[in-house]
Amino acid sequence: MKVGIAVKPKTPIDVIYPLADKIDLCLVMTVEPGFGGQKFMHDCMPKVKELRKKFPKLDIEVDGGLALDTIEEAAKAGANVIVAGSSIFSSDNPNEVISYFREKVNTELDGC
């Protein structure tokens, strides 16, 4: 079993610092939780960057608004776990979208 913490877009990322040594994953929400199809909030990416810099071994998950035009930004910020719904399920070729997401995340991980 693994332990994770999620933070909403308006939650400051430093609230997890005291717990970081006790968790396996931090989920950074890039939309307000509740329903699919929302737009990716670019202003959440500094949280991901800060987490990656401060906790390089922590799994950092991003959920919300991830699509072909936002996955690279999330990966470059340091996300190594991706949650995607609408962009995959509304695609004509879900396998292609998933492969593209994996490629972007793995490319950024290799560069670390």
- Whether this model's pTM surpasses 0.85: yes
Q: For 18-61, write each residue's pLDDT tens digit.
A: 999 999 999 999 999 887 778 999 999 999 999 999 999 999 99
Q: For 66-81, write each residue's pLDDT tens digit.
A: 999 999 999 999 999 9
Confirm if 60 and 79 have CB atoms less than 8 A apart: yes
Query: How many Cα atoms occupy the beta-carbon half-sphere of 50 within 13 Å?
Result: 13
Residue boundaries of the structural domains of the chain: 36-58+76-112
Q: Above 80 in pLDDT, residue 96? A: yes
Percent of the chain, pLDDT > 70?
96
Give the model's pLDDT for residue 12: 97
